[in-house]
Chain A
Amino acid sequence: MKYAYFPGCVISQRENSFELSTRKVISKLGIELIDLEGASCCGFLLGAIDHLSSTVMAARNLTLAEENGYNMLTLCPACSGHFTRVERELQKDSKLLNAVNKALGEVNRKYKGSSEVKHITKIFIEDVGVEKLRETVIKPLKQLRVAPHWGCHIVKPSEEILFDSPENTRLLDSLIEATGAECVKYLEKNTCCGAPTMGVDENLAIRVVRENLKSIEESGSDLIVTVCPFCHLHYDLYRGRIEEQYSEKYEMPVLHYTQLLGLAQGFDPDELGVYENRVAVDDVLEKIYA
């Protein structure tokens, strides 16, 4: 299985460990990545000031994958979600499609709509299959209790994304269970992490993530597992800010799903960038290697 790899800004900027662990785990699943030369930002955030520019930017990236002939794989649900929504909108709205192709005409490109975009977890579920994933596990993580955090854009809005059920998410649980770990239930399982408001109102964004962390801690889990670089960053990076604002200490570590899978596949923590995480994961590793 070959995919065009769309890097996404936050991954190459601050979450390289997600990409590193992905490249490791897919080598065991028969997935090969072709780096998408010419890729820019997906355009999602630009939607705040101009919807057309944000759509054109996504469409330009999609033409790169069309040229390249492979379906696109992303690690960031904001990217995959935006691409999918743009694809659906361009299918329905011929006026917008014309406007997009007019802009792309300036650089001799044309959006055809022939490529599909999938988040890595969607590829695990739909193209690889949980069973095959389980077969690559050589070190089942039976000792671990995990709080799964899907995030928002991976499943919502569901009528366009068509993946899992946002009100009753199950698929990340099944991916985690494939590693041998146990999933816990917690109140804020499907709540936004708060990251998107960080730039506008820091205190508010911290308030949201603190509430989620409280609920995760009550669940008695050993760690949080995320599939979104924004969620990971927001859970991982701002513990000091929470402590400052609320005088509460949360030590719950956060791993990318691919890091968890990699550990179960027998990779060294170092090979998966596990030590790049800001919140110490020592307790988790101790439990695994005990």
Chain B
Amino acid sequence: MNSLFKWLIRNKKHLILLLTLALRVIILKEKSTMISNQESVINIDELESEFTEGVVKAGSEKLKICFQCGVCSGSCPIARFEEAFNPRKIMIATALGIPDRVLKGNTIWLCATCYSCQERCPRDVQPADVIRTIRNLAVRRGITNPYFQTICGTIVNHGRLFNEEEAEFFNEVRADMGLPPIPFLDLEEVTKVFQHTNVKKLLTVEDGEK
């Protein structure tokens, strides 16, 4: 051991080579963990072009020209505090056709639809509308969110964010304040329109139960 050490001191070239090799091994190891953290490896089996086409056909053609500048994420009041919600990543994953990365967890349901991204996107991709379209497609795949199911259930079944019983209560409060009652709504009319658009099949909640 002692002689090896002495030999290395004498042959400085070999020492430097050995140290460089060791450093390389360390760097490579670091890099591989970085890659797995960022999920930047795309598995070809994940790709699903129908997903991209579905979003594009629904009116978001410009998704294809997104150049990943990140202005959407930088402007987003939600991304600021919630790492799981990142509009730039949603755009690229949708453009590439990787639905699993977009539809996992409650990611797409976190959008506040404040249109900050839409306002600033230099490519006019309209990220907020893209996310709305993704939500529509997700629901058709049976992926949904309990809050949106509940409020949409109430709207579809009662025509408003509240049912008839609640309306009666609100009207009492309004009368006390000297306000006229909530306008009469012919629920049958709303029901007929929704029968035509067939929206009820997208509801997993019977009657917007809370």
Task: Tell me the A residues contacting B by CB distance below 8 Å.
Answer: 7, 9-10, 12-13, 16-17, 19-20, 23, 35-41, 43, 45-53, 56-57, 60, 93, 102-104, 106-107, 152-153, 156-158, 166-167, 191-192, 194-197, 199-201, 204, 207-208, 211, 273
Contacts and interface: CB of A to CB of B under 8 A. Distances in A.
B77 A13 contact: no
Nearest to A191: B77
B69 interface: no
Contact of A200 (B110, B114, B194, B199): B110
Contacts of A194: 77, 112
Interface string B118-152: 11000000101000110110010000110111111
Interface of B: 58-59, 77-78, 81-82, 106, 109-116, 118-119, 126, 128, 132-133, 135-136, 139, 144-145, 147-152, 155-156, 159-162, 166-167, 170, 173-174, 177-180, 182-186, 189-190, 192-197, 199, 202-203
Given A103-B196, A204-B110, A41 B174 contact: no
Contact of B114 (A16, A38, A156): A156
Given A19-B179, A157-B119, A45 B152 contact: yes
A103 B199 contact: no
Given A38-B186, A196-B112, A16 B177 contact: yes
A182 B143 CA distance: 49
The 4 A-B residue pairs with the shortest CB-CB distance in the complex, in nearest-first order = A199-B147, A9-B161, A192-B114, A156-B115
Which of B149, B156, B197 gathers most chain A CB within 10 Å? B197
Nearest to B109: A200
A20 B197 CA distance: 36
B193 A9 contact: no
Contacts of B203: 49
A199 B170 CA distance: 21
Contact of A201 (B106, B144, B202): B106
Taking each of A166, A167, A204, A207, which has the highest tally of chain B beta carbons within 10 Å of its own beta carbon?
A204
Nearest to A47: B132
B170 A13 contact: yes
Nearest to A59: B193
B114 A152 contact: yes
B152 A49 contact: yes
B182 A201 contact: no
Contacts of A39: 183, 185
Contacts of A273: 177
Contacts of A16: 170, 173-174, 177, 179
B160 to A, nearest CB: 5
Contact of B192 (A7, A107, A158, A211): A107
Contact of B81 (A48, A199, A207): A207
A35 B193 contact: no
A51 B118 contact: no
A107 B193 contact: yes
A13 B161 contact: yes
A107 B110 contact: no
Given A37-B184, A200-B109, A204-B82, A158 B119 contact: yes
Given A13-B161, A45-B155, A192-B77, A50 B183 contact: no
Given A103-B197, A106-B196, A49 B148 contact: yes
A16 B179 CA distance: 8
Contacts of A53: 156, 194, 197, 199
Interface centre among A48, A56, A196, A200 (most CB of B within 10 A): A48
A39 B167 CA distance: 13
A200 B159 contact: no
B159 A49 contact: no
A270 B132 CA distance: 41
B119 A200 contact: no
Contacts of B126: 157
A48 B152 contact: yes
22 contacts: A9-B160, A13-B161, A36-B183, A41-B155, A45-B155, A48-B135, A48-B139, A49-B202, A50-B197, A50-B202, A51-B136, A56-B196, A57-B193, A152-B112, A156-B119, A157-B115, A157-B118, A167-B119, A195-B112, A200-B110, A201-B82, A204-B78
